[in-house]
Amino acid sequence: MAHTDITITNSSGVLLPSQPSVPVVSGDTIAFSTDDGSSAVLFFSPGAVSVLSPPPSGPTTVTGSEGTTFTFISSDPGAYSVFFETSGNVTHPPFPVRETTRLLLEINSWRSFGGGGPTNSTNTAGVTGDTSD
């Protein structure tokens, strides 16, 4: 069983994960923490909620290096993603719906550019090309 640590860095108000995605493999674990002690709020897609244990019940706040850990309970393909925000009082962009066997770690870049159009409001942090397995 593999374990992945995701460190979230605040770059001028945009929360950046330490990698763009993580394989969804039953029994593997993933832990989220911040690099500077600040808080990050995680918004999981419905598909991601269904394959994580314990299942996140709404936005999940991560504070500091102590981290929050989840275990994947499935390896089936699905629309798995999580957005990172500085507050739980925001509306996240639409979750991606493309099925994959990876949890996509998303950033909401339109905030850093003062607002974008509806067709480019989300970016996958550092992902280039196809991330499906």
Q: What is the pLDDT of residue 108?
A: 65
DSSP 8-state assignment for residue 58 = S
Torsion sign (Cα): 104, 108, 113, 117: positive
Domain annotation covers residue 132: no
- Asked if residue 106 is part of any domain, the answer here is yes
**Is residue 10 one of the residues assigned to a domain?**
yes
Please report whether residue 93 resides in a domain. yes
| pLDDT for position 122 | 39
- Assigned domain for 133 exists: no
pLDDT digit string (tens) for 77-125?
999 999 999 888 877 778 888 999 999 999 865 443 333 333 333 334 4
Global confidence as pTM:
0.80
Give me the number of domains the chain comprises.
1
Contact 86, 13 (CB under 8 A): yes
- Kindly state the tokens that stand for 24: 């969804």
State phi, psi for 11 to the nearest 5 degrees: -115, 95
- Is 3's pLDDT higher than 70? yes
Asked whether residue 33 is domain-assigned, the answer is yes
Residue 131 within a domain? no
- Residue 17's domain comprises 3-124
Per-residue model confidence as pLDDT tens digits over 54-81: 999 889 999 887 789 999 999 999 999 9
Q: Is residue 130 part of a domain?
A: no
Strands 123-124 and 29-34, sheet pairing: unpaired
